[in-house]
Structure 1
Amino acid sequence: MSIRVAMLGQYPLDEERIVGGPEAVIVPLVHSLARFHDLEMHVVTCQPGVEDRLTKTASGLPLHVLKRKRLGRITFHRRDVASIQRTLQRLSPDVVHAQGLGIYAAAAAHSPYPHVVTAHGIIFREAEFATGLASRFRRFMDSVYERYCLAKVKSLVSISPYVEEELVQTRGFQGRVYRIENPVDDIFFAMNGQGEEATILYAGRVLPRKGLLYLLRALAKVRQAMPRVCLRVAGETESAAAYFEACRQFIKQQVLDSAVIFLGSLTMEQMVEEYARCAVLALPSKQETAPVVVAEAMAAGRPVVATRVCGVPYLVEDGVSGLLVHYGDIDGLASALLRVLRDSQLRMQMGQRGRKMAETRFRADVVARETRQLYLQLAAG
């Protein structure tokens, strides 16, 4: 007998073009869960600018696409939640699995079906970095909604001990918690070599909390010792236009134009090429939960230089799979990057150790097996 599971989340309509960590997680997880014959998987997603329709994922699973309603925050997302719940009523699943503490969590928690929610970003922490009146209002409303959802949810998947620190210890979540880490697509594990020795990759949106400006300041110092160094920035730049402009102005002032390449938002295939090209991944963020780019870099056999913040130390073992520095320590960041870039043996060792860790923690089939066991437990009551 099979178990019918409704997976609720921001599933990309174009699986080659993934934007953000939750999308990078849900796609390989869904593909791996599709291989279990005792699971009947359905994916439900809300998207703006589309009409309701039933289509399929790349792995052949039913994909229920619902039109995202306007003015969601002002209406507390009631219409979107109602739309998802109507779909759940038609599906009558044995288990509902929601991705993120937003509309999908609300729909799951208010349904009559056993449910679990995977918490990705810690929204109330991310809200601290909002700039501008409109952005601060949106983030405030999102953090209020996060608290509302958390009070309704009965079961939570924690992708990092940091999630438990924030949502259980700080926010007081009272339900059951299951530790299951994020999956990484198998394609990242297939890479070989060490990349181009003077190439640094930054993978992520250009936002204040991601700290690209600090990385650029460190890059200026690295370039004094290594003139051939190149920073490749893979991620969209439109969400924080003022911050992106500040980054561009710094590049111009420091004459770094030839050393920094903005690639924009990339397809999955293009991201794989960037990991293969780089010698090291740099993540200079002030706030991260369980950054998928770090897990991807480890799977690709690339060392990581990152800040010692939030959930990052639970992924990167300092001195083993990468190097950790304090946020805002420009000299420390530059020094760590130079240490890795100059030492090919160190890069190889860190990359190998990181991949070994990733094999046991982030392989999609490993995460899918753990998730399937959770579904069986929830379905059994």
Structure 2
Amino acid sequence: MQSQVNRHFKIAFLNLNDGPHGEYGALLAAAVAQQPDAEVLVIAPDSLLKGARAGAHLEGMATHAIRFDGKMNKVKSLIEVWRILRAFRPDVIHDPVGSGIGAMLPLRPFLPGLAPLVVTEHNPVVHPGLSGRHHGPARALTRRTAALIHVHGPQAYAEMRGFGMPDDRLAIIRHGAFDEYGVAARYFDRSGSKQILIFGGLRPNKGIDMLPEIFAKVRAHHPDATLLVTGERLKRIDSAMAEAMDKALDKLATMEGCTLSNARVPEEDIARLFGSCGLCLLPYHTATQSGVAMIAMTTGAPLVATRVGDLPDVIEHGRTGLLAEPNAEAIADEIIRAFDDHEATKARAEAALSFAAEECAWPVIGRQMVAAYTRLLSKGSGEDGEK
């Protein structure tokens, strides 16, 4: 019988972004670091490490700050990253940010020479309307160089298989929950609220173009319903899709009961927004998985979403939320259903909270990620490893 691979891992998290995906990477790194025999180094922008949320999770961990402002700093930082990795001698290099961030692409072809490369691919297929020349080539490069690609659900897995990725180079591990928001949200009262919350970056795939029609229909049945659209509009968007989205935003600005905020939400406001809304709406045309859904679940905010991507993997229609086809009429009908029956809506939110705590807690995610590393290294050494 073959011996098992040594389970003491040295994992370098190459977390070269300070946006939402960078924060996700910090949470994932912290979860992995809590597992037995896992030694973690996080290489990340100084701005991320100093941020209140990521910094709190990475406190006490081995980190190395880098700078990415200006072309020369980027070149120097990539050289520095290479030096740090060679000195650390990791068993695994994990890029939790994915192909959508171009900062580390010049390094990616060379990383497998140091250690097997694991990439968390948040969006195997580029969201419609996003511009940027690197998007397609970046994903193709990921598929060529990554020893293991981590996706968040079965739909993303199927998309990767469609690109020719074999089973043994794929791992499905869900997005983790956001417990800290859940604790803070308990101090706010949502009883009787009919506020519809749209949260997160505004881009064409998120169904912003449908909101005027959705909101008008909901108001016809519930005149006291309100809509809060909060999040920063993405700047690099296909011009035709941007025009349709901006037209909808202009229309919403004239509608009674609607409030728009074109800015990234301050960290300290997130728990209040989710803790006091009547429901969180994800009217997406397309999606992979959604960090917004996980915030809603952990804060007890009722969910209405579209039946696209991997949203149905975490939102079970009628049990943990309500799902609709991605058209304005169907979405509005489910919002009306949620507002018509407060007790049923509350019960679904409570079921979602339990699901997130049991299936998507970060300790669970950390264990699953380490098991994926074990299988990867076992395969590389020709040993059986952990099943």
Superposition TM-score tier, normalisation by shorter sequence: 0.7 to 0.9
User: 1:96–1:108: 8 Å Cα contact kept in structure 2?
Assistant: no
Q: Give the superposition deviation at 1:303.
A: 2.2
Partner of 2:356: 358
Partner of 1:9: 15
Counterpart check, 1:61 vs 2:61: yes
Structure 1 residues 278 and 225: alpha-carbon distance in aligned structure 2, compared to 1, 3 A threshold: same
Counterpart check, 1:215 vs 2:221: no
Partner of 2:385: none
Distance 1:264 1:196 in 2: 27
Deviations along 1:302-321, one digit per CA (max 9) or x if unpaired, are: 22111111221212111221
Distance 2:75 2:306 in 1: 38
Distance 1:277 1:2 in 2: 44
Counterpart check, 1:91 vs 2:88: yes
The SS at the match of 1:219 is helix
Counterpart check, 1:141 vs 2:128: no
Residue identity opposite 1:172 in structure 2: G
Deviations along 1:25-50, one digit per CA (max 9) or x if unpaired, are: 223223333434632211113579x9
Q: Give the superposition deviation at 1:244.
A: 5.7
2:177 to 173, 184, 190: 184
Partner of 1:117: 119
Structure 1 residues 195 and 118: alpha-carbon distance in aligned structure 2, compared to 1, 3 A threshold: farther
- How large is the Cα RMSD of the aligned pairs? 3.1
More off after superposition, 232-241 vs 270-279: 232-241
User: 2:117–2:145: 8 Å Cα contact kept in structure 1?
Assistant: no
1:155 to 121, 135, 148: 148
Partner of 1:173: 165
The aligned runs of 1:332-347 (5 Å cut-off) are 332-347=330-345
User: 1:202–1:233: 8 Å Cα contact kept in structure 2?
Assistant: yes
Note the residue ranges of structure 1 that are not aligned, 5 or more in a row: 13-18
1:371 to 350, 369, 372: 369
Distance 2:55 2:331 in 1: 44
Residue identity opposite 2:150 in structure 1: V
Q: Give the superposition deviation at 1:207.
A: 1.0
Structure 1 residues 30 and 196: alpha-carbon distance in aligned structure 2, compared to 1, 3 A threshold: farther
Structure 1 residues 269 and 43: alpha-carbon distance in aligned structure 2, compared to 1, 3 A threshold: same
User: 1:196–1:277: 8 Å Cα contact kept in structure 2?
Assistant: no
Deviations along 1:335-358, one digit per CA (max 9) or x if unpaired, are: 111110221111111111111221
Distance 1:87 1:196 in 2: 54
Residue identity opposite 2:43 in structure 1: V
Residue identity opposite 2:370 in structure 1: R
Residue identity opposite 1:220 in structure 2: A
Structure 1 residues 85 and 91: alpha-carbon distance in aligned structure 2, compared to 1, 3 A threshold: same
Partner of 2:250: 249
Distance 2:71 2:204 in 1: 26
Distance 1:350 1:86 in 2: 50
Q: Give the superposition deviation at 1:249.
A: 1.9
Deviations along 1:82-101, one digit per CA (max 9) or x if unpaired, are: 55333211221122111113
Q: Give the superposition deviation at 1:196.
A: 4.8
Partner of 1:322: 321
Q: TM-score, normalised by structure 1?
A: 0.82
Note the residue ranges of structure 2 that are not aligned, 5 or more in a row: 1-6, 382-387
Distance 2:371 2:268 in 1: 31
Deviations along 1:138-176, one digit per CA (max 9) or x if unpaired, are: 1x432112112211211122211111111112x111352
Structure 1 residues 299 and 153: alpha-carbon distance in aligned structure 2, compared to 1, 3 A threshold: same
Distance 1:347 1:154 in 2: 43
Residue identity opposite 2:271 in structure 1: V
Distance 2:247 2:255 in 1: 14
Q: Give the superposition deviation at 1:206.
A: 1.0
Partner of 2:194: 198
Structure 1 residues 296 and 111: alpha-carbon distance in aligned structure 2, compared to 1, 3 A threshold: farther
Structure 1 residues 71 and 325: alpha-carbon distance in aligned structure 2, compared to 1, 3 A threshold: farther
Q: TM-score, normalised by structure 2?
A: 0.81
User: 1:197–1:279: 8 Å Cα contact kept in structure 2?
Assistant: yes
User: 2:287–2:309: 8 Å Cα contact kept in structure 1?
Assistant: yes
User: 1:305–1:324: 8 Å Cα contact kept in structure 2?
Assistant: yes
Counterpart check, 1:227 vs 2:223: yes
Residue identity over aligned pairs, in percent, reads 21
Residue identity opposite 1:142 in structure 2: H
The SS at the match of 1:129 is coil
The SS at the match of 1:350 is helix
Distance 1:219 1:204 in 2: 18
